[in-house]
Amino acid sequence: MKKIIPWFGKQETVICDGVCSKAWGINNRPKTEDEKFWRADGDLGEAPADPGTYEGGEGKPCSTMNNDPELMNKWCVRECERCYFESENSVRDFSAVVAL
C-alpha cells in the first residue's frame, strides 16, 4: 500500500505491506534473546489491536486495514515497523528475523 503524506514541509510517499495484524510497533515488537533482531512473523501470534503507543494522539488504526491506504495515520509513519518511506528503500521481510 502507498500513501502520499505531508512530512516536514514536503510530500513523502509511505509504503506499507498492510499486514496490520502482525504490526507491533518498533518499540513493542518482540526481539530475539540477544536483542539484535526482531522476531519473524511466524514466531509470533497476532499483534495487539492497541499496542499502547501513540503518535500525535493517533494509535494503530486497526488490526487489518483491508489494504486501504487511507486508514494509514501518524502511528503508521512513526511507530509501525512494517511502514517505510519510499525514498529509504528499506523493505523489511518479516518471514525471517530482521536486524535492528
- Residue 91 dihedral angles phi and psi, to the nearest 5°: -65, 130
Residues 6+ away with beta carbon under 8 Å from 66: none
> Is the Cβ–Cβ distance between 83 and 92 less than 8 Å?
no
- Could you read off the pLDDT of 56-69 as tens digits, one per residue? 888 998 756 566 78
- Could you read off the pLDDT of 1-19 as tens digits, one per residue? 888 888 888 888 989 888 8
Candidates 30, 13, 18; CA nearest to 87 is: 13
Question: What pTM, to 2 d.p., does this model score?
Answer: 0.82
Bridge partners of 37, per DSSP, are 99
